[in-house]
Amino acid sequence: MEEIKNEIIHSFGNKLRIRVCGICIEDNKILLVKHHSLGKGGILWAPPGGGMVFGETAEEALKREFIEETGLTISVEKFLFVNEYLTPPLHAIELFFLIKKIDGILQTGLDPELHSDRQIITKVDCLSFEALNALPLEAVHSVIRGMDNPDQLLQQNGYFRTSP
């Protein structure tokens, strides 16, 4: 576990990252990725997404991240909001977009930035908001904590600054 945390800090820490994140809602459920070794409790459910690569548009990055993490091909429908995540040594500006599933079979993917024996993605799943709210607070990404339904999430706009 400590090796994985050190790898996370080495790969993502002590620098500002620009991340793209996709909100995928189907049948009143939200698609989330379960990570271990993240968040205060060691588990974090978060929308699929990841860091942008120099020269890549936000839309290109989001499409790449969805394939890597979920196996799904998507279209980017609209920009929703910005979240600044700041819990040293991690610091990220997260751009959230509404996305639509186009094709593919949902599967648990990989994070290519981490070594093959230190992967942190353990599951991908569509959770109801009721199931999401039954999880420990610290196990849910801050932008979706306490949301009762998809409309509540999709009506958010602007800039947020949150911690895990």
Write down how long the chain is.
164
User: What is the pLDDT, as a whole number, of residue 164?
Assistant: 53
- Among the listed residues 111, 77, 90, 99, the one whose alpha carbon sits nearest the alpha carbon of residue 17: 90
- pTM for the model stands at 0.91
- Whether 67 contacts 48, CB under 8 Å: no
What pairs with residue 90 in β-bridges? 15, 87
Answer whether residue 13 shows pLDDT above 90: no
d(CA 124, CA 117): 18
User: What is the pLDDT, as a whole number, of residue 142?
Assistant: 92
Task: Name the least confident of 4-13, 21-30, 39-48, 96-105.
Answer: 4-13
Q: Is 115 helix (H, G, I), strand (E, B) or coil?
A: coil
Answer whether residue 29 shows pLDDT above 60: yes
What mean pLDDT comes out for the span 143-159? Answer: 95
What mean pLDDT comes out for the span 146-159? Answer: 95
Give the end-to-end CA distance of the chain in Å, rounded to a whole number. 19
For 78-137, the pLDDT digits (tens) are 999 999 988 888 899 999 999 999 999 999 998 887 777 778 899 999 999 999 999 999
| Residue 7 dihedral angles phi and psi, to the nearest 5° | -65, -40
Which ranges constitute the DSSP H helices of the chain? 2-12, 58-70, 129-134, 150-154
User: What is the pLDDT, as a whole number, of residue 100?
Assistant: 98
